[in-house]
Structures are given as structure tokens and as C-alpha cells.
Amino acid sequence: MNGLEQRIWEAFPTGTPVTADRDGEREVRGEVLTRLLLGAQPPAPGARASLRLHGAVIIGEFALRFAQVDAPILLEDCEFERRPVINWARLGFTSFARSTMPGLHASNVTVEGHLKLNEARVDGELRMPGARISGGLVLDRARIRSAGVAVQAERIIIGGDLAAGRADIEGLVIVSQGRISGDVDLDRARCVAPAEPETVGEPHALLAGDRGVIGADSLVVEGGFFARGATFDGELRMWHSRISGAVSLTDSTLTNPGRVAMRLDSATLDGGLFIGHDFSATGEIRAVYAQISRTFALRGARLSNPGGSALRAASMTLQGTLDARGSHLDGLVHLDDSVLNGPASFVGATLTNPGGVALAMNGVAASSTVNLCDGFSAVGQVQLSGSRIGSVLCLDLATLTASPDPADTRRNAAFALRLWRTQVPELRLRITSVTGPVDLRHARVGLLRDDPASWPEALHLTGLTYETLEPPATETDRRAWLARDPAKGQRQPYEQLAAVLRAQGDDDAARSVLLTRQRAHTRSAGWASRAWGVLQDVTVGYGYRPMLAALWLVVLLGAGTAAYSAHPPRAAEPGKAPEFHAVVYTLDVLLPLVDFGQQSAFVPAGRYLWLSYLLIAAGWILATTIAAALTRSLRRT
């Protein structure tokens, strides 16, 4: 043994620390340390044996394969010539803090206490699949460099925290199927995907091929997952993971252009997801089928994936608030078929996806409010088709700009806003600006609040039902509103408005709206139907202007009475005819199916005979149009 080895040998039984002299002898053979820990030197009576060595250069192999060592091991500030090997060992507290090594093999190791590599410098792989650590795994401020896998800790079990705050890791970190009883701390860490992903090999080749940086599929964390202010260059993958505490990446930066930046598909996050404030992601954030309790916070976040999805969280279940206020989302925000059991707010958010859909919330079941208002801006289509919203859908003071792809010839591609078959108790549409058509077809609304100044050029209304309009409907404004529907002549929008006007007690306005509907329908009919329609319009206003029919009757009655008073017709049978009355005679001629006995008793001649024919024809036309119009009116209203 050299002098340093002798000092270590003598210090071990009492656990006395040994520090190598930087200017003197520093080399220690790994086999000497192995012999000590395997029982070559028994502990001193009444003392706790431990290996406490600082500042040494450890040459040769330091290996404890399958060993059982009760003594604490502290090899700190040391330089390892070869990577330590502790596979399948059962160890006590173990520390390689601030040491430099070409890797560590610790597969299936059991450590009673902490395993510390804080501030270590590792140029190679930390290999510890199946490891069991009763305390914490400490990697704070560690620097790990690997062309492939940097940390292989699949199926690891940690009784405390996984602490890697301010760690600097280049290479793939794998903690899939692990279980951590405490927190995961990656605050201010820097993690970069492997430089040579082809060296990773199966079964992690796919993750490496996607520029994976952390693989945490099916990871169970009983505490929280914290990566605040961290930097991830590559995919942060937590597929099927379960985190009991909060997942917080506030102020962090994720970069994986054109690919997935963070994957939380089918994850269960009991403490909420926080990726707001100065959080920035280049690449897709995925949370498809995720189960999130409490809050999903995106407030102030910047997500960018032009031409793809900025956020894909279809079929997500959220028990708390979706807070995306003031966020900037470049790419599709996809929330189709999600269940939102709290309010969703995109107040002041900016969504951009030119040529496509900016926000997709089709089939969403939201139990509270959905706020796309107060400065909300979308370049690209906003879709909430088939959604059921429990309280208010608000688009007040929003700016919507349809930006369809000229090559997309689909009929629905040009809409700025689609609320097809949406169900909501209150819809607020006092939009600041909307460029492109709005689709309200077959939506079911309780209270509709809008403003004539904010109506789009094209407003699809077929099948829309509502109970109340605010401000209260005025006939003139609302007829102009209906006229913006490209589907001219559809009956239902007019009948719906008339029903609301009638409920407000304005029967005259309701009839006027229905008259407008019938005229629009007539204009789109064939020539014969148009002629018949014009006749009904002129005579009785399609049954919605009954006073017009009375006016025609008075005019014809007056004309006939005047003519026949001046030139009474001769009696058909002189001596038997009743006394002639011009008014009754004219009524008898005018009204079909009514017989006062005057028409059959007197026979006009010459031009007055032709006047009789004219009155008979006018009477039949008037009666027929009245009957048709009244039948239509009663059937529809």
C-alpha cells in the first residue's frame, strides 16, 4: 500500500475522514477500497465504520457487484479512472458528490439512504435500471455528458426526492416505469437530446429518434414534478405517467421544432399542470386523454409550432380551470371532445394558424363559462361545433379573422367562427371585428346577446333556436340580420324570430317578419308559384295582413254598389222579384257560397254584366287567397 491507502485503511474502522493532498500522493487503487468495504478491516468497538475519502484519484476498478455493505460510502471530490460498478449491491448511504467519473453502473442496486452525485462530472452513462433507493437520488448541479443515454434509470424506485436542480445533462434521461415517493426537482436544469441518437438502441430508439431528452413514460411520482426555469432541447415525454402533486414548468423553455416538445398523453396529473408565465415551447405540447385535476395554467405562455399543433389536448378531462389568459399560441390549439369541469379563459390570448383552424373545441363538454373575449384574437378558424357549455360562451370584444387556404375547397373552410349544433344558455357575440362568415346553424341558445355593429357580412342561421334576444329584438334590425344568411328563403330563421317577437308581445312585428319570409320564399320559386304568390301578397299579404283583405272587400263592394245603384239590373221575373238593394246584390255577387237571393233575381245587361263577372272572379280569387293564406298562417304559427 502507498501512504494514502494506508491512511484510508487505518481511518475506516472509526469512520475518520481522509483528504488527499493535492500536491502530494493522490492515487488510490479501487481494489483496496473494495477490500475495505467487503470486510477486510473490521469496525472499531463502539464506532461506526465508514469510507470517507475526499480529493483522491481512484485508479483501477472500484467494484461492489452483488456485495452487501453496511458502512456509509463517501467518495467525494474524487477522480475515477474507470466507472464504478455497484450492480446488484446492497449499500448504505453512498455519495459521489463533486466527483469526476466516466460513468456509473448501478443496475438493480439497493441503497439504504441517499445516493448522491450532486455537482458530479460524468462523461458517460449513469446506468441504474431497477435501482432501489430508500432516500433520495441527488443530482443537483451535476454535469452529465453522453452521446446516447445519459441516465438509464428505468423502473427505479426512490423513497425520497429525485433532485436535479441546475443539473446540466446532454443525452437521454430515462426514468420510465419508475416510482418516486417525493418530488422530482429539475428547477433551472438544462437537458439536451442525444447528439448521436442512433447509439441508444432498443427499446428507446423511437424516443431518441424523436429527439427525446427525458423519457418518463408510466412514471409514478407521489409528490410534484418541478422544472421551473429549466431548458429542454428535445422531447419531454411523460406518457401514462401519474403525478400526485403539481407539474410546474413555469418560466421554462422547451425546444423541439416540428416535433413534440412535451408529451403528456394519458397522464394523470392530480395537482394540476402549470406551464404559464414566461414558459416557451417550440414544438407541440400534447396532453391527449390526459386527466388533470385542479388548474391547467397557460397564462402568458408562448407556444409555437407553425403549420402544426401548438397544443393538442383532445379528449382531455380537466377538473379545474383552464387559464390561457394572455397566451400566444402559434399553431392549432386542439381541445376536441374534452371535458372541462371548470371555467376556460382565453381572455387576451392571441391564436395564429393562417390557412387553418386556430382553436378547435368541437364536442367539448364545459360545465362552466368559456371566455374568448376582451382582447381575444384568432387568425384562423374558431370551432366549437357540437359543444355543450353549461354557462356562458363569451366572444365580446374578440377579433376573429378567417384565413382559409385558397387550395382548400371545402364548404366549411372559410368560416371565421363555427358554432354548429352548439348548446349554451347564454351566447355573447358583441365581437369587435370578424372577417369571414359565422356559422350558427342548429345551435341552441337561451339568451343571445349581440350588436348590429358587430354582425359579419355572412351569418348562417338555419336551425338556430334562441329564447331571448338582447338588446330586445326590433323588426327592422332583425330583418337585416336575417338577410345576412346566404341560405335565402329558409323558413326556420324567420319563424324563430317571429316566435321571439310574439313572446315579447309584438304580434305586428312577428307578422311582418313572417311576411318577409314568405316574400323571400316566393322570389326563389318557379314562375307559376311566383305569380300565385304575388296575387296572395297583393290581396291579403299572405294572410299576415288581414286588413288588406278587408280593404279590397270594401273597395269592390263600394264600386259595385255605386254602379248598380246608378244602373239597377232588370228583374229576371217581373212581378216576382224582391225589392232590389245594390249593396246586398253586390255582396251576393262578390261572396262565393253565399246566397242572399239578389243575384238570381236580377239580370244585369251590357257592361254591367261584365262587371258582375269581374266581381264574381274577384270574389273567388279573394276567398281562395284568404283561405290559402290563413291555412298557411295557422299551420306555421
The predicted-structure confidence for 541-557, as pLDDT tens digits, reads as follows: 555 665 666 677 788 77
Higher pLDDT, 402 or 284: 284
Give whole-number Cα distances, 471 to 63, 353, 428, 468, 479, in Å: 82, 33, 11, 9, 15
Domain boundary among 461, 491, 524: 524
- In a domain, residue 260? The reply is no
Q: Identify the pLDDT of residue 630.
A: 61
Q: How far is the C-alpha of 256 from the C-alpha of 233, rounded, in Å?
A: 6
Give whole-number Cα distances, 597 to 164, 291, 618, in Å: 110, 86, 20
Instruction: Write out the three cell numbers for 20.
Output: 488527499
Q: Identify the pLDDT of residue 517.
A: 61
* Number of Cβ atoms within 10 Å of the Cβ of 331: 24
Domain boundary among 98, 121, 138: 138
Domain count, the chain: 3
If phi > 0 it is left, if psi is from -120 to 50 it is alpha, else beta; for residue 218 that is: left
Domain boundary among 490, 524, 558: 524
3-state helix vs strand vs coil in the chain, percent to 5: 25, 30, 45
Q: Which range among 188-192, 561-565, 596-600 shows the weakest confidence by mean pLDDT?
A: 596-600
Residue 472 clears pLDDT 80, i.e. is over it: no
- Same domain for 505 and 562? no
- Same domain for 38 and 94? yes
- In a domain, residue 511? The reply is yes
Q: How far is the C-alpha of 380 from the C-alpha of 332, rounded, in Å?
A: 9
- In a domain, residue 253? The reply is no
- In a domain, residue 35? The reply is yes
Q: Identify the pLDDT of residue 209.
A: 72
- Same domain for 42 and 114? yes
Scanning the structure block, which residue is given the C-alpha cell 455537482? 119
Q: Identify the pLDDT of residue 71.
A: 96
- In a domain, residue 381? The reply is no
DSSP character at residue 387: -
Q: Identify the pLDDT of residue 325.
A: 98
- Same domain for 544 and 520? no
User: By residue range, what is the domain housing residue 445?
Assistant: 440-524
Q: What is the mean pLDDT of the chain?
A: 89
Scanning the structure block, which residue is given the C-alpha cell 493532498? 21
Return the beta strands (E) in 502-619 as ranges. 570-571, 602-603
Instruction: Write out the three cell numbers for 612.
Output: 258582375
* Tens digit of each residue's pLDDT (9 = 90 or more) over 125-162: 999 999 999 999 999 999 999 999 999 999 999 999 99
pTM: 0.83
* Tens digit of each residue's pLDDT (9 = 90 or more) over 383-437: 999 999 999 999 999 999 997 666 665 666 689 999 999 999 999 999 999 999 9
- Same domain for 41 and 125? yes
- Same domain for 10 and 121? yes
Binning pLDDT at 50, 70 and 90, where does residue 606 land? confident
- In a domain, residue 592? The reply is yes
- In a domain, residue 108? The reply is yes
- In a domain, residue 426? The reply is no
Q: What is the mean pLDDT of residues 336-365?
A: 97
Q: Which range among 299-308, 476-485, 524-533, 577-586 shows the weakest confidence by mean pLDDT?
A: 524-533
Return the beta strands (E) in 216-366 as ranges. 220-221, 225-226, 231-233, 235-237, 242-243, 247-248, 253-263, 268-269, 273-274, 280-286, 291-292, 296-297, 302-312, 317-318, 322-323, 328-334, 339-340, 344-345, 350-360, 365-366
Residue 494 clears pLDDT 90, i.e. is over it: no
Sign of CA dihedral 273, 323, 389, 351: negative
Q: Identify the pLDDT of residue 632.
A: 53
Residue 51 clears pLDDT 80, i.e. is over it: yes
- Same domain for 2 and 133? yes
